[in-house]
Amino acid sequence: MRPVYVAGAAVHPFGKHLGVNAAELGYRAVQELLASTGISPEQVDAGYGGSTYGGSLLAQRVLQRIGVSGPPVYTVENACASGASAVHLGWQAIAGGFADCVIAFGTENLSGFGGGTLPLTTNDVEISQGMVMTAAYAMRAQRYLHDFGATADDLTRVSVKNRGNGALNPRAHFQQAISPEDVEQSRPVADPLRLLHCCPNSDGAAAVLLCSEEFSKQLTTPSIRLRASVVRSGDFHTSYRDMTWPDITARAAKAAYDMAGLKPNDVDLVELHDAFSVAEFLHTEALGIAERGQAYKATARGEFDRDGRVAICPSGGLLSRGHPVGATGVTQICESYWQLTGEAGDLQVPGAEVALTHVTGGGIFGVDNGACSIHILTTT
């Protein structure tokens, strides 16, 4: 298996881009990627585009406009992990020796839906009975508070931390810090979650350049090692489901640490799937960054602040950046690339050498999530 590098990153700022379709957003991100890396379209061996609602041949539509037309191109859909799955398939193509230079991107426009929860499939027995994502995470939150003695204030602390980070991120949907009072005064959505415990439906896109070691030496941009790239599906069972243990995250994380030859305490920063404030606790614990049931205490102690033990969501997370589903996983890798190359500006985590990115999502009956993807990036 050949080493794979991230040699460039570009993010189209997240936010509301009503009337700009997903293909256009993706085009802008990929265009910026080519401009910033100096790569010519002819050097690209393959393209992978992730999107959930972008429509047929999304990847082809985006890449042909940038001049990448002719080589293998794939449109990948794995719900919230669509973009990260696109990166993973690109990683596999390089690691397996099938390509030397790959573009992977994710893009989404959710404004077109006009608001509300994302339209999920109606073929699913749980979803058809009302198990939309907000409901699922509210139940998880209730259980977490009950089992481990956390309070709504602990959930609020995640929103305040991540919105504080995002206030410094020019690519984030929300760029304003918020107070605990702001969260408490925001409208209830699904008890105990209030509006500011939930990420917004956003529009946006992101793209990365992946390449082999040899190819990376031709470039003037810095290269960061993509040390682990993992995709997993949810483990199906109809018996009791532990709502405070995202098993899919734990399994994907174990595979990623094994692939990277690293342990949780090697990680300097994590961009994880904080689609709802409670999700940060669940995934921090499943990633092994905090003991089970302890993440909320560590958060209160400031361990996950940008200058803490492990910076969690230093870019602002989904709570600040927003969550254009197909784009989220790629953006996390972009933000991590800039952290490890020292180009993160106001967001910089001091001395960052190991970054982990995590997305999971898609509700399906009998599994915690449909797809989860984890990447680990290292400076060496």
Provide the binding-site residues for a second copy, judged by CB under 8 A.
Answer: 1, 21, 23, 47, 52, 55-58, 60-61, 63-65, 67-79, 85, 88-89, 92-93, 95-98, 120-121, 123-124, 230-236, 251, 362, 364, 366-367, 370-371
Q: Which residue out of 80, 198, 199, 372 is catalytically annotated?
A: 80
Cα-Cα end-to-end distance for the chain: 17
> Toward a second copy, which CB reaches closer, 75 or 348?
75
Shortest CB 248 distance to a second copy, Å: 8
> Toward a second copy, which CB reaches closer, 314 or 326?
326
Is 211 among the catalytic positions?
Answer: no
The DSSP code sequence of 323-361 is --HHHHHHHHHHHHHHHHTT--GGGPPTT--EEEEEEEE
CA gap 293, 214 in Å, rounded: 45
Name residues whose C-beta falls within 8 Å of residue 335's C-beta, 6 or more positions apart in sequence.
11, 271, 314, 315, 344, 347
> Toward a second copy, which CB reaches closer, 29 or 196?
29
Name residues whose C-beta falls within 8 Å of residue 349's C-beta, 6 or more positions apart in sequence.
268, 269, 306, 307, 311, 314, 339
Shortest CB 76 distance to a second copy, Å: 6
Two structure tokens written together for 40 = 């010519």
Q: Rounded to 5 degrees, what are φ and ψ at 128?
A: -65, -20
Amino acid at 156: T
- CA proximity to 73, closest of 49, 94, 97: 49
Collapsing DSSP to helix, strand or coil, 83 comes out as helix
The neighbouring-strand residues paired with 360 are 372
Shortest CB 121 distance to a second copy, Å: 5
Shortest CB 54 distance to a second copy, Å: 9
CA gap 284, 296 in Å, rounded: 10
Two structure tokens written together for 19 = 């009337």
Shortest CB 99 distance to a second copy, Å: 10
Shortest CB 142 distance to a second copy, Å: 25
Contact 333, 377 (CB under 8 A): yes
Q: Tokens 């960061």 correspond to what residue? A: 224
Q: Is 92 exposed, middle or buried (0-12, 13-18, 19+ CB in 10 A)?
A: middle
DSSP 8-state secondary structure symbol assigned to residue 270: E
Shortest CB 87 distance to a second copy, Å: 12
Provide the annotated active-site residues.
80
